[in-house]
Amino acid sequence: MARLRTPDTIQALYGDEAPVMLRWFSVPKEFFVATSNASAARPISRDLRQISVLWRFVRPYWRCAVGAALALLVAAGSVLAIGQGVKRVIDGGILAGEPSLLNEALVGLLAVIVVMAGATFARFYWVTWLGERVTADIRRALFDHILRLSPAFFEVTRTGEVTSRLTNDVSLLEVVIGSSASFAVRNLLLMLGALVMLAITSAKLTLLVLFGVPLVFFPIMLAGRRLRRLSRASQDRLADVAAFIDETLHEIRTVQAYVHEPVDRAAFGARVEAQFQTAERRILVRATMVASVILLAFGAIGVILWVGGNDVVAGRLSPGALSAFVFYAVIVAGAVGALAEVMGDLQRAAGAAERLLELLKTEPEVTAPAKPTPLARPARGALSFEQLTFAYPSRPETLALRDFTLQVAPGEQVALVGPSGAGKTTLFQLLLRYYDPQAGLIRLDGVDSRTLSLADLRGAMALVSQDPVIFAASVADNVRYGRPAASDADVAAACHAAYAWEFIERLPQGLATPLGERGVQLSGGQRQRLAIARAVLAQRPLLLLDEATSALDAESERLVQQALGELMQNHTTLIIAHRLATVQKADRIAVLDFGQLVELGTHLELQAAGGLYAKLAALQFQR
């Protein structure tokens, strides 16, 4: 893409030719794709069945899960056995005045406690290990799936939102797997087991407990749906915060250059406050629910203790039995309260699971066939664009290409020129199969690109763009990106071929020098030469150059042009260029306008034809 110029500047420079040049230099509004916050359109989670998605990740580790379940059963049974030990100590030891029975009861109680401690250790270890293992697998599965998604997905989904799902949402599921789920099952078992022991100890008091349990569950059911909605909304607002941070920090130089910090601080503060207010409402509902459960549960225990105390005084119940009953009643109350507390985690996890399911269910718009056609190796690099018609999914009413046909011979250098929005970059995107055309097809070495595997198709091409991508890694790792197995000697040779070695050898650690995020330590020309070195090392037969020199100063452009001259030898090359001086030596020049091929020929032929190319070439060279 050429440097953007204001309409007034172009009018002053080109006079009557300004309308043509405005189209040549400007970026059409269709180029920009508005991002949207997809979270606003998501349905809320209505039940906890969303968490069932976790089972497919837990299933490979079923032995660990079974071990944790058995340990949980033993630990819960040990807790219930303590109640009987308390009863025996009081009735058989203290009240009976038999020290030997007291000793036996104490030894038995200690044995139960030791078993409980061991079972608790096993449960905690296995459950926590399972949570960490499954979380790692979920993140890997999500990342693998995201890498398969087509660019169209990222046109309408912000990177920060996807990052939030990979981090925050998965962390919520880790809480469920690693603690909340086993905690909930443990307390459910304790509650059911304690109810059975209550019935054995005193049927009358058990009826009172059973009457109180529904009252305790009432606030849980009442607050459940509202808590689900607020949990989901809280995660969505957190995704908004993450997306804003990601966007602002990536463009921090533009932010500071335009002194936009006060506006961004206010915008970020508004997002943080929105997230806080949503979380505050969720916390209020959850705290109210837990407090109501505690009030009702322990209030019921007080009533039961009063009724049981009267039975002891009347001789209808032994002190040990009452103590055991109170012990079990406390277990029931504590278990119900714990379930109410855990319910909040489960509700939040249900919302997180729903968001992750949405991501996992998103299918890429471009897929490889089940049985792809093999591509001859090495590929010759012959290209055929046959009657291509294409409109981007985000703007289907605007055709980016119309009935475009072009043949490119192996080893040929073809330049694509034309105004912004004419369809040049769209051709690259279709060639790389980021999208598929609505009509027509592309052949590589005579094979329909849609029948090839994506790895074979894209593996035949090396791309050098106007704004080269530099990763936060070392020089060597950036150059080696297209061929990870390349040796350091191969990397150095590619850097020499790209005229990049002269600045690499001056870096503190040479090839091992970290370049920082997006290569902030390098100039534009240096980044471009590294991108060319990457393409040299990749050794791919088809070379795609997208405005590779348009943003460089004269000296950097000279070095980059030398590097490109070396690189283009024996490669089929497609060159996108606005600066016509850079493509005069191309074998052929294809002129596009409104998505159509309007002229085709050499520089001299097109100048002699007196068409659009000749007019624009005259304006550029005259200037």
Whether residue 323 sits in one domain with residue 245: yes
Whether residue 387 sits in one domain with residue 272: no
Domain final residue pick, 330, 361, 392: 361
Whether residue 130 sits in one domain with residue 262: yes
- Say yes or no to pLDDT of 4 above 50: no
Q: Give the pLDDT band of residue 39 (cuts 50, 70, 90).
A: very low
Strand order in the sheet with 572-576: 461-464, 542-546, 572-576, 413-417, 588-593, 596-601
The mean per-residue pLDDT over the stretch 328-351 comes to 74
Give the pLDDT confidence score for residue 29 in this predicted structure.
Answer: 32
Provide the percentage of residues in the chain whose pLDDT is more than 70.
Answer: 83
Whether residue 434 sits in one domain with residue 354: no
- Looking only at the bridges linking them, the beta strands covering 447-448 and 542-546 are unpaired
Give the pLDDT confidence score for residue 550 in this predicted structure.
Answer: 60
Give the pLDDT confidence score for residue 389 in this predicted structure.
Answer: 92
> CA–CA separation, 532 vs 543, rounded Å?
10
Q: Is residue 566 in a domain?
A: yes
The mean per-residue pLDDT over the stretch 212-226 comes to 69
- Residue 103, judged by CB atoms within 10 A of its CB (0-12, 13-18, 19+), counts as exposed
How many Å separate Cα 404 from the centre of its chain?
A: 36
Domain final residue pick, 361, 393, 411: 361
Give the pLDDT confidence score for residue 136 in this predicted structure.
Answer: 85
User: Which domain, by its residues, includes 492?
Assistant: 383-622
Q: Is residue 106 in a domain?
A: yes
Strand order in the sheet with 401-408: 401-408, 383-390, 439-444, 447-448
Instruction: Summarize pLDDT for 524-583 with one digit per residue, the tens.
Output: 778 888 888 888 888 888 888 887 766 566 666 677 677 777 777 778 889 888 777 777
Entry field: residues in the chain? 623
Q: Is residue 54 in a domain?
A: yes
Query: What contacts 251, CB < 8 A, 6 or more positions away?
Result: none
Q: Is residue 369 in a domain?
A: no
> CA–CA separation, 519 vs 478, rounded Å?
10
* CA angle 282–285–289, rounded 5-degree value: 135
CB 307 within 8 A of CB 211: no
Q: Which of 43-52, 92-101, 166-175, 480-489 is predicted with the least confidence, judged by mean pLDDT? A: 43-52
The mean per-residue pLDDT over the stretch 77-96 comes to 70
What would the two tokens of residue 619 be?
A: 């304006």
What would the two tokens of residue 36 be?
A: 């949207």
What would the two tokens of residue 67 be?
A: 């071990």
Whether residue 147 sits in one domain with residue 87: yes
Whether residue 410 sits in one domain with residue 348: no
Give the pLDDT confidence score for residue 199 in this predicted structure.
Answer: 80
Q: Give the gyration radius of the chain's Cα atoms.
A: 35
> CA–CA separation, 289 vs 221, rounded Å?
9
Q: Tell me if residue 599 falls in helix, strand or coil.
A: strand
- Say yes or no to pLDDT of 315 above 70: yes
Could you give phi then psi for residue 541, rounded to 5 degrees?
Answer: -70, -20
Q: Is residue 441 in a domain?
A: yes
Query: What contacts 6, CB < 8 A, 6 or more positions away?
Result: none
Q: Give the pLDDT band of residue 290 (cuts 50, 70, 90).
A: confident
- Say yes or no to pLDDT of 31 above 60: no
DSSP state of 474: B
Whether residue 118 sits in one domain with residue 254: yes
pTM above 0.75, yes or no: no
Q: Is residue 417 in a domain?
A: yes
Whether residue 509 sits in one domain with residue 574: yes
Instruction: Summarize pLDDT for 416-451 with one digit per residue, the tens.
Output: 988 878 888 889 889 988 888 999 999 988 888 898
Whether residue 416 sits in one domain with residue 321: no
Give the Å distances, CA to CA, from 407 to 243, 400, 438, 458.
43, 19, 19, 19
At position 294, the amino acid (one-letter code) is I
Mean pLDDT of the chain: 77
What would the two tokens of residue 118 be?
A: 């061991």
What would the two tokens of residue 316 be?
A: 């209808």
Whether residue 120 sits in one domain with residue 52: yes
Query: What contacts 512, CB < 8 A, 6 or more positions away?
Result: 474, 475, 476
Give me the residues paired with residue 444 across strands: 383, 447
439 compared with 86, residue with greater pLDDT: 439
- Say yes or no to pLDDT of 295 above 50: yes
Give the pLDDT confidence score for residue 623 in this predicted structure.
Answer: 52
> CA–CA separation, 264 vs 268, rounded Å?
6
Total of domains in the chain = 2
* CA angle 184–185–190, rounded 5-degree value: 100
Give the pLDDT confidence score for residue 15 in this predicted structure.
Answer: 43
DSSP state of 94: I
Whether residue 215 sits in one domain with residue 281: yes
> CA–CA separation, 399 vs 422, rounded Å?
10
The mean per-residue pLDDT over the stretch 333-338 comes to 73
Q: Which helix (H) or strand (E) holds 440?
A: strand 439-444
Whether residue 391 sits in one domain with residue 525: yes
Q: Is residue 34 in a domain?
A: no
- Say yes or no to pLDDT of 1 above 60: no
The mean per-residue pLDDT over the stretch 192-218 comes to 75
